[in-house]
Amino acid sequence: MDLTGKVAVVTGGSRGIGKAVSLRLGGLGATVVINYVSRPDAAQETADQVVKAGGKAAVYQFNVADSAAVEHAFKKILEDYGHIDILVNNAGITRDGLFMKMKEEDWDLVLDTNLKGAFNCIKAVNRPMMKQRAGSIINITSVIGFAGNAGQANYAAAKAGLVGLTRSLAKELASRNIRVNGVAPGYIDTDMTRDLADSVKEIILNEIPMKSMGSADDVAAAVAFLASDEARYITGQFIHVNGGMFMG
C-alpha cells in the first residue's frame, strides 16, 4: 500500500487508536493532519513520531462537536495543503452509566462528539472531495454499536448512528468516487482498557473467542487498507476488528 501524496485528517489522533492510525498512514507516505482537543503535548509527540519515521505531520486543535470550529479548521487545512484525500473520524468519548440514571448532558455530550462530530467533519470535506472526484472516509464505530452494551446506551446509540451514516453516505457519494467505510473495534488494549480491574478484563476475555484483546495497530491496519487504493472497489462496508467477539 502506498499513500504518497495523500493528505489524511485523523480526528482524535493524539493517542490510542488515533495515534496508531496516524503513525500507520504517515508510514505509508501520507501527510497526516492530527486533530486534538485538550492534549497538545500528546498530539505533538505523535506528530514528531510520524516525522521521525520518515512521514509528514501537523497538529490542528479543534473540537469536532463544534461545527463552526470544524469549518474553520478544514478551511485552513485546505489552504495549507490544497486537498484532503482521507478522513478518519476517530474522535470519541464515553460517559457510561445505567440509562435510568443517565444525565441528559452525558447523552448529549457523547452524541455530539461521537456522531455529530463525524457529521461535521464529513460536511467539511464533502464538497472538496466531490470536486476532486476522489476520497476515502473511514468512520471508527465499535462492536458496541452493533451488539449494544448495558451501561453504554449513549455510546451504543452514537456508534450505531455511525453505521447508518456510513451506509447512507456510501450510496450518496459512490458516483463521485468517494468511498465511505467503517472499522468496528472490539476490546482494544489502550489507556482506557488498561485501567480496568483484572476481574473485568477476565470477563471480557471470556467473551472473545481469540482470548486476547486487540491492539491499536490491528485497527490501524484495517484503516490503512480502506484508505488505500487496494480497497478501491469497497464502500459501505465494515471491518470488525474484535477477535471473533461479534460476527455480523
Q: What are the average pLDDT values for consecutive 10-residue runs of the chain, which has 248 residues?
A: 96 96 97 96 97 95 98 98 98 95 98 98 98 98 95 97 98 98 95 78 91 96 98 98 92
Closest CA to 86 of 164, 160, 13: 13
3-class secondary structure per residue, the chain: CCCCCCEEEECCCCCHHHHHHHHHHHHCCCEEEEEECCCHHHHHHHHHHHHHCCCEEEEEECCCCCHHHHHHHHHHHHHHHCCCCEEEECCCCCCCCCHHHCCHHHHHHHHHHHHHHHHHHHHHHHHHHHHHCCEEEEEECCHHHHHCCCCCHHHHHHHHHHHHHHHHHHHHHHHHCEEEEEEEECCEECHHHHCCCHHHHHHHHHCCCCCCCEEHHHHHHHHHHHHCHHHCCCCCCEEEECCCCCCC
**Residue 155 known to be catalytic:** yes
Task: Look at the pTM and tell me if it is higher than 0.85.
Answer: yes
pLDDT score, position 29:
96
Annotated catalytic residue within 60, 81, 155, 233: 155
Tens of pLDDT, residue by residue over 136-192, are 999 999 999 999 999 999 999 999 999 999 999 999 999 999 999 999 999 999 877
pLDDT score, position 82:
97
Looking at this protein, which amino acid is placed at residue 61? Q
